[in-house]
């Protein structure tokens, strides 16, 4: 009887410990979520305070990143160096990335480049992105393009890499290659820069939006992409008249996007390059399912908000089908 009682007490004690541990972990998760919300809202001091109450290595790492975002490079660098001593390879790599960004911010480009290269060789997608951004700023567009593509191959969910690749391609004068990652970026993000990028999409669609590359010629080794440039020219929008309504602009965008995607579907079956596999296949599926117009209105939801809301109220079922389908495809974006 005594043994049975002692066994029951032990079980009860273990259960209480498990409940306490579960409650602690739940509270820690809640603090992490709140800290991230504060950081995303730009309330860095409050975010760092909350990170300090979370007893995990990941919280310490995100606190270092937050210091860097708020401009306190010294504090960020100090914490990143400490995190590099951890056993976890992932934590070491992320800490090294923060160190590289700190060095770049301090103007030590050689040190930053060495760290970026080391991480890139290890397949660190985010490091490839930051290195690409650095090279683009220095005018090394071809290298930046290659790194963006490598980052996207390593992690297609890295949203800023799609936007950066589009901007690099635009600088190089490659309108087809600039359009595809930009459309994908606008489908993936809710960032503050979304409105600006949607307007850039309009510019790319208009005749003369992008000319030849910096060498004054197309890349002859990519005849398929060159052919798509011609298709874009054939369906591109002229500069809209001053009286054109936002809805008229979006409707025109939808029609021309459908024309481009139809041509891509008919001519790209045997094309297995980066652009087809990373972008065209998905966009062709959007077209095949009849969701092109929903996609365009979604892309411009911040640019033409009142008009998009009105359209949504009149096409709720259609847009809901598109939204559900997109959520189901989110793992592939």
- Confidence band for 227, pLDDT divided at 50, 70 and 90: low
pLDDT digits (tens, 9 = 90+) for 9-68: 444 454 444 444 556 567 788 888 888 998 988 999 999 998 999 888 889 999 999 999
- Selected residue with higher pLDDT from 228 and 76: 76
CATH of the domain at 65: 1.25.40.10
User: Which of 192-201, 227-236, 246-255, 283-292: highest mean pLDDT?
Assistant: 283-292
The pair of structure tokens assigned to 223 is: 């005849």
Q: How many domains does the chain fold into?
A: 1
Please check whether residue 161 lies inside any domain of the structure: no
What mean pLDDT is predicted for residues 264-280? 80
Please check whether residue 45 lies inside any domain of the structure: yes
CA distances from 151 to 119, 128, 164, 276, 331 (A): 11, 6, 11, 16, 16
What is the rounded CA–CA span in Å between residue 250 and residue 247?
5
Average pLDDT value for the chain = 83
Please check whether residue 202 lies inside any domain of the structure: no
Residue 306's nearest CA partner among 266, 227, 247 is: 247
Please check whether residue 71 lies inside any domain of the structure: yes
Residue 68's nearest CA partner among 85, 56, 86, 83 is: 83
Sign of CA dihedral 103, 92, 62, 196: positive
The pair of structure tokens assigned to 43 is: 């309330």
Of 145-154, 223-232, 245-254, 322-331, the least confident? 223-232
Three-state secondary structure readout of 233-291? HHHCECCCCCCCCHHHHHHHHHHHHHHHHHHHHHHCCCCCCHHHHHHHHHHHHHHHCCC
The pair of structure tokens assigned to 167 is: 């901007």
Residue-number span of the structural domain to which 85 is assigned: 31-122
The pLDDT, as a whole number, for residue 40 is 87
What mean pLDDT is predicted for residues 156-176? 93
Q: What are phi and psi of 315, to 5 degrees?
A: -135, 40
What is the rounded CA–CA span in Å between residue 283 and residue 183?
9
Please check whether residue 23 lies inside any domain of the structure: no
The pLDDT, as a whole number, for residue 210 is 40
Over 50: is that where the pLDDT of 217 sits? Answer: no
Tell me what percent of the residues of the chain surpass a pLDDT of 90. Answer: 52
What mean pLDDT is predicted for residues 267-285? 82
The pLDDT, as a whole number, for residue 323 is 93
CA distances from 102 to 84, 95, 107 (A): 14, 11, 9
Please check whether residue 85 lies inside any domain of the structure: yes
- Confidence band for 235, pLDDT divided at 50, 70 and 90: low
The pLDDT, as a whole number, for residue 265 is 86
Q: Are 169 and 181 in contact (CB under 8 A)?
A: yes
Three-state secondary structure readout of 154-218? HCCCCHHHHHHHHHHHHHHCCHHHHHHHHHHHHHHCCCCCHHHHHHHHHHHHECCCCCCCCCCCC
Please check whether residue 205 lies inside any domain of the structure: no
- Selected residue with higher pLDDT from 165 and 188: 165
Which residues are CB-neighbours of 65 under 8 A, at least 6 positions away? 76, 98
Please check whether residue 144 lies inside any domain of the structure: no
Q: pTM for this one? A: 0.81
């Amino acid at each position: 009887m005594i043994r049975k009682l002692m066994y029951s007490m032990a079980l009860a004690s273990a259960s209480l410990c498990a409940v306490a541990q579960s409650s602690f972990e739940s509270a820690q998760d809640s603090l992490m979520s709140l800290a991230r919300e504060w950081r995303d809202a730009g309330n860095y001091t409050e975010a760092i305070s909350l990170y300090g109450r979370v007893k995990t290595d990941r919280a310490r790492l995100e606190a270092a990143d937050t210091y860097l975002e708020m401009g306190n490079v010294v504090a960020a660098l100090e914490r990143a160096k400490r995190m590099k001593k951890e056993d976890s390879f992932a934590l070491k790599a992320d800490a090294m990335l923060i160190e590289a960004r700190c060095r770049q911010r301090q103007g030590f480009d050689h040190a930053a480049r060495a760290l970026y290269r080391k991480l890139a060789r290890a397949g660190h997608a985010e490091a490839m992105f930051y290195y690409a951004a650095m090279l683009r700023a220095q005018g090394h567009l071809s290298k930046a393009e290659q790194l963006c593509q490598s980052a996207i191959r390593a992690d297609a969910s890295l949203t800023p890499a799609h936007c950066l690749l589009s901007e690099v391609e635009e600088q190089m004068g490659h309108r087809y290659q600039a359009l595809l990652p930009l459309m994908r970026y606008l489908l993936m993000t809710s960032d503050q820069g979304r409105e600006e990028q949607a307007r850039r999409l309009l510019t790319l669609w208009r005749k003369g939006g992008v000319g030849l590359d910096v060498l004054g010629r197309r890349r002859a080794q990519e005849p398929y992409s060159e052919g798509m440039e011609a298709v874009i020219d054939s369906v591109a929008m002229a500069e809209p008249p001053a009286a054109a309504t936002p809805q008229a602009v979006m409707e025109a965008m939808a029609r021309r996007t459908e024309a481009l995607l139809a041509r891509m579907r008919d001519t790209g079956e045997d094309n297995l390059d980066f652009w087809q596999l990373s972008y065209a296949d998905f966009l062709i599926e959007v077209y095949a399912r009849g969701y092109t117009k929903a996609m365009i209105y979604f892309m411009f939801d911040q640019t033409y908000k009142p008009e998009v809301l009105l359209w949504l109220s009149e096409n709720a079922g259609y847009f809901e089908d598109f939204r559900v389908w997109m959520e189901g495809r989110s793992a592939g974006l």
